[in-house]
Chain A
Amino acid sequence: MLPSYGVIGVFAIVAILFPLVALSIAWLVRPKKPTPLKKSTYECGMETFGDTWVQFRVQYYLYALVFVLFDIETVFLLPWAVVYNQLGLFALAEMLLFITLLVVGLVYAWRKGALEWL
């Protein structure tokens, strides 16, 4: 038998070829008649004004920071969940402590208003 990751590799090749082949077929059969008006940026029928690539508020990135925190936590939780059956009460207490520390962080972010969308 091919090792499982070999199958994943074959799958990846198929997955990459699939959109490429579809786009190539479309490239062959579709019409190509660009006009300047057609290629202008859409903005509800108006001429576009101002710059698109603007700066976002810093609050937006606070979500990303909180996310990184909790995503790392879930990475720690994954192996814990797998062996939980064998570890029992001690593991539960330990993880409870770990999560409590994180929840304190979440509550802090919450109270500081980091979770408000502006």
Chain B
Amino acid sequence: MLDAIRNLWSLIYNLFPNLAQALAAFLRGTGLPGWGVDLLMALLSALVVVISVLLGMLGMTLMERKVMGRMQNRLGPNRVGPLGLLQPIADAIKFLIKEDIVPTNADRWVHTLAPIVAAIPAVLVYAVIPFGKGMAAADLNIGVLYILAVSSITTIGIVMAGWASNNKYSLLGGMRAAAQIISYEVPLVLSMLVAVMLAGSLSLGKIVEAQGGLLGILGWNVFRVPFGTLAFLTYMICAVAELNRTPFDLPEGESEIVTGYITEYSGLKWGLFYLGEYFNAIAVSAIATTLFLGGWQGPILPPYVWFLGKVLVIVFILIWLRSTLPRFRVDQLMGFAWKVVLPIALVNIFVTGAAITLWQAFVK
């Protein structure tokens, strides 16, 4: 009896890797060649990741509206389906059946390409994220570099949208977005470096493993006071800025430049920008979890549950920030990046380096 429970628990604990192994074994049994099985498994993992992130994105839009509603002392969506749970699906259908308006003066091709260019990297980032123990689609040994490289393509999509719309608000929004994203990218990389230094590897899997060990929860990078905590804080600030979310939502400031680079978009093209933004928000939360909150590490519960729980906490913080803080001014925003966050992140790297050297000198 006890053995049965233990077996069941270990099955649940490693549910997804076990499923993948069983499926691969089954496919090999059907007489497919080895490369065919690999290709099929890769395709399947990509589809599973995209679909689950899509569901997560729908969930996040609903969560955002519900939580913001409660924070503003109102109910939020509650009419479509029980408790408003079907609201995101209704929204998705509405995106699909809305007319697509391309202004006469716009650059037609670039206008159409821009949302596609913005959406592709948002999906690609998820290829390297370890969702649980052994649950990364591809644990690249340069995972951190891959994430940085892929996620900066989004900027090009935004600038393309701003330029192609041939609208003054769009152009301003696109240019602001470009300036903001490149400015916050430097401290973002510097704060990610702290996690890389502590693990001695760019692979996300190795970074997560380095945060386990005997210390348990205290081994997470965020609890390595002061440099780990500081790196986490600077990472979150820069990540929110990279996402163009409040309080850094100047590129889309509704009240001043009419949602900036997406002013001239409608229908599913607008939907793709929206989707990319939420995909990126979840990706940023997942990366923060992986680098600073110990990834899937945690006692008792299965790894994927821990991962999901931590991502939800960060997503909640993003929503909380949005309903709490007002918008920055442009000069404040740029000044904050170059004169406050960048020096802090730079100094933090050396504090980390000194701490590692001291640790090696006295403990080893």
Chain A residues within 8 Å of B, Cβ to Cβ: 1-2, 4-8, 10-12, 14-16, 18-20, 22-23, 25-27, 29-34, 36, 38-44, 48, 52-54, 56, 60, 63-64, 66-67, 70-71, 74, 77-78, 81-86, 88-89, 91-92, 95-96, 99, 103, 106, 110, 115-117
A47 vs chain B, min Cβ distance (A): 12
Partner of A64 from B171, B182, B330 at Cβ < 8 Å:
B182
7 closest pairs, A vs B, by CB?
A: A2-B38, A26-B268, A15-B123, A7-B138, A117-B331, A10-B42, A4-B138
Residues of B within 8 A of A44 (CB): 258
Contact assessment for A115 and B139 in the assembled complex, using a CB-CB cutoff below 8 Å: no
Contact assessment for B183 and A11 in the assembled complex, using a CB-CB cutoff below 8 Å: no
Residues of A within 8 A of B196 (CB): 78, 81-82
- Interface check B105, CB cutoff 8 A: yes
| Interface of chain B: mostly helix, strand, loop or mixed | helix
15 A-B pairs with CB atoms under 8 Å apart are: A7-B42, A8-B138, A11-B46, A18-B119, A18-B123, A25-B96, A26-B95, A26-B97, A30-B98, A71-B186, A82-B200, A84-B356, A88-B357, A99-B346, A110-B339
User: Which residue on A lies nearest to B92, using beta carbons?
Assistant: A22
B136 vs chain A, min Cβ distance (A): 9
User: Which residue on B lies nearest to A56, using beta carbons?
Assistant: B175
Contact mask B102-130 → A, CB, 8 Å, 1/0? 11111000000001100111011011100
The interface stretch among B3-11, B213-221, B347-355 is B347-355
Residues of B within 8 A of A84 (CB): 197, 200, 353, 356
Residues A29 and B350 in contact in the complex (CB < 8 Å), given A53-B166, A53-B171, A117-B334 = no
Q: How far is it, in angstroms, between the C-alpha of A110 and the C-alpha of B120 when the chains are bound? A: 36
Q: How far is it, in angstroms, between the C-alpha of A34 and the C-alpha of B186 when the chains are bound? A: 44
- Interface check B327, CB cutoff 8 A: no
Contact assessment for B269 and A42 in the assembled complex, using a CB-CB cutoff below 8 Å: no
| Interface of chain A: mostly helix, strand, loop or mixed | helix
Partner of B357 from A6, A66, A74, A92 at Cβ < 8 Å:
A92
17 other A-B residue contacts (CB within 8 Å) besides A74-B186, A88-B357: A8-B138, A10-B39, A12-B120, A12-B124, A22-B268, A23-B272, A26-B271, A30-B99, A32-B100, A52-B105, A53-B163, A54-B171, A63-B334, A74-B193, A81-B349, A85-B200, A106-B338
Residues of B within 8 A of A30 (CB): 96-100, 267-268
- Interface check B342, CB cutoff 8 A: yes
Partner of A74 from B119, B168, B190, B267 at Cβ < 8 Å:
B190
B11 vs chain A, min Cβ distance (A): 23
Q: How far is it, in angstroms, between the C-alpha of A77 and the C-alpha of B202 when the chains are bound? A: 12
- Interface check B323, CB cutoff 8 A: no
How many B residues have CB within 8 A of the partner chain? 86
Residues of A within 8 A of B95 (CB): 26
Residues of B within 8 A of A71 (CB): 182, 185-186, 189
For A4, A48, A56, which residue has the most chain B Cβ atoms within 10 angstroms? A4
Contact assessment for B167 and A67 in the assembled complex, using a CB-CB cutoff below 8 Å: no
Contact assessment for B116 and A20 in the assembled complex, using a CB-CB cutoff below 8 Å: yes
Contact assessment for B338 and A115 in the assembled complex, using a CB-CB cutoff below 8 Å: yes
Contact assessment for B119 and A66 in the assembled complex, using a CB-CB cutoff below 8 Å: no
Partner of A70 from B101, B145, B166, B186 at Cβ < 8 Å:
B186
Partner of B268 from A23, A77, A91 at Cβ < 8 Å:
A23
Q: How far is it, in angstroms, between the C-alpha of A40 and the C-alpha of B106 when the chains are bound? A: 9
Partner of A5 from B102, B105, B138 at Cβ < 8 Å:
B138
